[in-house]
Structure 1
Amino acid sequence: MSALEHFWHSGRLPVSLLFIAFLLTFVITRTITRLIRAGRGPFRNNVRGGVHIHHAVPGLILLLVGAVTSVAVAGHRPGALIAAVLIGVGASLVLDEFALILHLGDVYWTTEGQLSVQVVSLTTAALGLLALGIDPFDDDSTAHLDGNLGILVILPIHIACVLMCVAKGKYSTAAVGAFIVPVGWVGAIRLARPHSRWAAHRYSPAKAACSAKRAADFDTRFGKWGLTIEDLVAGKPSGDAPGAARPTM
């Protein structure tokens, strides 16, 4: 069986299409929004009746249609492939404005809006792993049983570490750690970012001060690189909320 035939019969085509649709939609969306911001090209803000209709709205519609289609076709093609594309496009449009939904305000071009890019990065990493065929529940061949059981044991720990990085405010570390296991595990062990939910609920004043000092030292050395990449992808923020600190690793 050729590599293409194996890929076709492995069941990975729908999730691969979802991954590609998600990533392409994000790139296209960010390109268009940055052109609108710069006043270039034919694109303009979508305003109807004085209301700015954000792209999360059509994204939510596409996401729901894709989800319903996916359930209705029960995995049969071509419906499953169409559903995968709809879900990928819809999810990308929604998560690109994740920060707006979280803050219930138009923070797209502020530092808080950078959270959307970090969430999209984390989601892209997770979808990429699925598209690569990482499936600990695949028992088609007993020859791979030991390997699958090993992944089955390690994967929950790895997922827990990545989620811990998110809880600790280390969104970039979580995104990289989803692909590179040691990064996620080390990020989960190390101190949380001082403004994270984890630090707010679990750290004593002394430990919070230590966390703030370590974060400041890290940002001084390496933080500018992560922020430069985020600015390149998302566009440089135009304003900060009072007392806001730019999130990095």
Structure 2
Amino acid sequence: MGEWFATEIVAAGKLRLFCFFVFFIGTFVFIRISVRLIRARVRWWPGNVTSGGLHIHHVVFGVVFMCVGGVSGLAVQDVASAAAGLLAGLFGAGTALVLDEFALVVLLDDVYWKEQGRLSVDAVFVAAAMCGLALLGASPLELDDVLNPGPDDDLLSTGQIAFVVGTNLALSVVALGKGKIWTGLIGIYITPLALVGAIRLARPGSPWARRRYKPGSRSLRRAEWREHRIHQPIERFVDGLQNLVAGRPSPKA
């Protein structure tokens, strides 16, 4: 295990990313356990942090951790040192705390246990997936492949690099515009996935569908059929997974 860590993580220059990922996941799990214990009114758990009757949301601590970890990490020159790893971990912990209240930041409302609060869980899941892909060696927009070609490959010109990166980015943007959030974001790392999302039907209600699918058109009917038969069962499964991990939203009043 130690040899694998030294070879695949430290020597590969992934120590900071690894520490970020581990602290990110660990902090998210901890804070979700904490808020569920608070919600259940468990007596032995400390409860919310307050100051003069004001509830201090954990996004505040997340911002502080990100600032301290990020700025201090820039001052560490040895990226393979323990200090670099710990500061990256602190940044990861802060990121988890911020994204866990992402819905509050976006909506400027305390919707943590409401249906809108699922936006925070979505943000955490997406961030974890993208970080995990980076750890596995995936390169966003194929940047690593075009900027660092293999010994048998030719260097690309600036125009060629711009074309490759621009094409990959455009595919992801189209997939996002078609309402395929996961496909578009993960497609930043896996270009074929972005291509599939870009060429397939848009989801009903997406910006692409609203602008390009006329009411009653064959494309819209097919999109609605796919939404009912494919996407909705997947969303029910994802909702169940989110309830298991993050807790069930409070019922609507």
Q: TM-score range by the shorter chain?
A: 0.7 to 0.9
Tell me how far 1:159 sits from its aligned partner. 5.2
1:108 to 84, 108, 112: 112
In the other structure, the counterpart of 2:181 is 171
Q: State how far apart, in whole Å, the 2-side matches of 1:142 and 1:220 are.
A: 43
Are residues 1:31 and 2:57 paired? no
Q: State how far apart, in whole Å, the 2-side matches of 1:161 and 1:106 are.
A: 35
In the other structure, the counterpart of 1:5 is 7
Extract unaligned runs of 5+ from structure 2. Answer: none
Instruction: Give the TM-score normalised by structure 2.
Output: 0.75
In the other structure, the counterpart of 1:20 is 22
Q: Mapping of 1:193-208 within 5 angstroms? A: 193-200=203-210, 204-206=214-216
In the other structure, the counterpart of 2:151 is 143
Extract unaligned runs of 5+ from structure 1. Answer: 242-249
CA contact (8 A) 1:119 1:171 kept: no
Q: State how far apart, in whole Å, the 1-side matches of 2:40 and 2:65 are.
A: 28
Superposed CA RMSD in Å reads 3.6
CA contact (8 A) 2:130 2:186 kept: no
Instruction: Give the TM-score normalised by structure 1.
Output: 0.76
Alignment-mate amino acid for residue 50 of structure 2: V
Q: How many residues align?
A: 240
Are residues 1:54 and 2:57 paired? yes
Q: State how far apart, in whole Å, the 2-side matches of 1:153 and 1:17 are.
A: 34
Q: Mapping of 1:95-244 within 5 angstroms? A: 95-135=99-139, 136-137=143-144, 142-143=150-151, 145=153, 157-158=167-168, 160-174=170-184, 182-200=192-210, 204-206=214-216, 210=221, 211-212=223-224, 214-239=226-251
Q: State how far apart, in whole Å, the 1-side matches of 2:232 and 2:88 are.
A: 42
- Are the structure 2 counterparts of residues 176 and 9 from structure 1 closer, same or farther at C-alpha, using a change threshold of 3 Å? closer
- Are the structure 2 counterparts of residues 184 and 118 from structure 1 closer, same or farther at C-alpha, using a change threshold of 3 Å? farther
Q: State how far apart, in whole Å, the 1-side matches of 2:252 and 2:166 are.
A: 37
Tell me how far 1:17 sits from its aligned partner. 0.9
Alignment-mate amino acid for residue 70 of structure 1: G
Alignment-mate amino acid for residue 118 of structure 1: D
The percentage of aligned residue pairs carrying the same residue is: 37
Tell me how far 1:225 sits from its aligned partner. 1.5
